[in-house]
Amino acid sequence: MSEAVQERSAISQQFGSATASDGSRVFQGNIQGDFHLHQPPEPLERPETPPNPTAVIPFNRDRDFVQRNTILDQVHRLCSEPASRTALVGLGGVGKSQIAIEYTYQIRERSPKTWVFWVHASSAPRYEQSFRDIADYLKLPGRTSPQNNIF
């Protein structure tokens, strides 16, 4: 006989019990001793309601943007997979940033519930600050704790 069954049998003999139709038991009698009520601890940080999906792009759309449909189609295709990553690589001044900016506006038009964030990667501190800003914007729990690495 298992320990749990033996314990239940001992309690039943000591206090008497009634069995309900669903098989549960109600024990009758007095229990002596201390009664302790344990409640879960209060959360350290009250969860905040995150904002609705949005785009945080620090640049306006270029009204004079020269369409590069082949490249934009490739970016749309590559970014359509969940958790995908795409890099635009080229010499300075060829339009990488303008393509990325145009893509962000197009994706928001096609899918307004898509989150879009611009991450500045010109230096390590600026890169890290971009992620801190995103965590603040999304109101991620624990974002201000020094023990949490948001990168």
> Distance between CA 95 and CA 5 in Å, rounded?
74
> Distance between CA 129 and CA 151 in Å, rounded?
10
pLDDT band at 5; cut points 50, 70, 90: low
Q: For residue 8, with 0-12 CB atoms within 10 Å meaning exposed, 13-18 middle and 19 or more buried, which class applies?
A: middle
Q: What is the mean pLDDT of residues 72-88?
A: 90
Mind listing the pLDDT tens digit for each residue in 129-142? Answer: 999 999 988 888 88
Domain boundaries, the chain: 57-116, 119-151
Distance of CA 97 to the CA centre of its chain: 28
> Distance between CA 12 and CA 25 in Å, rounded?
9
Task: Say what the pTM is.
Answer: 0.58
Q: What is the mean pLDDT of residues 39-50?
A: 62
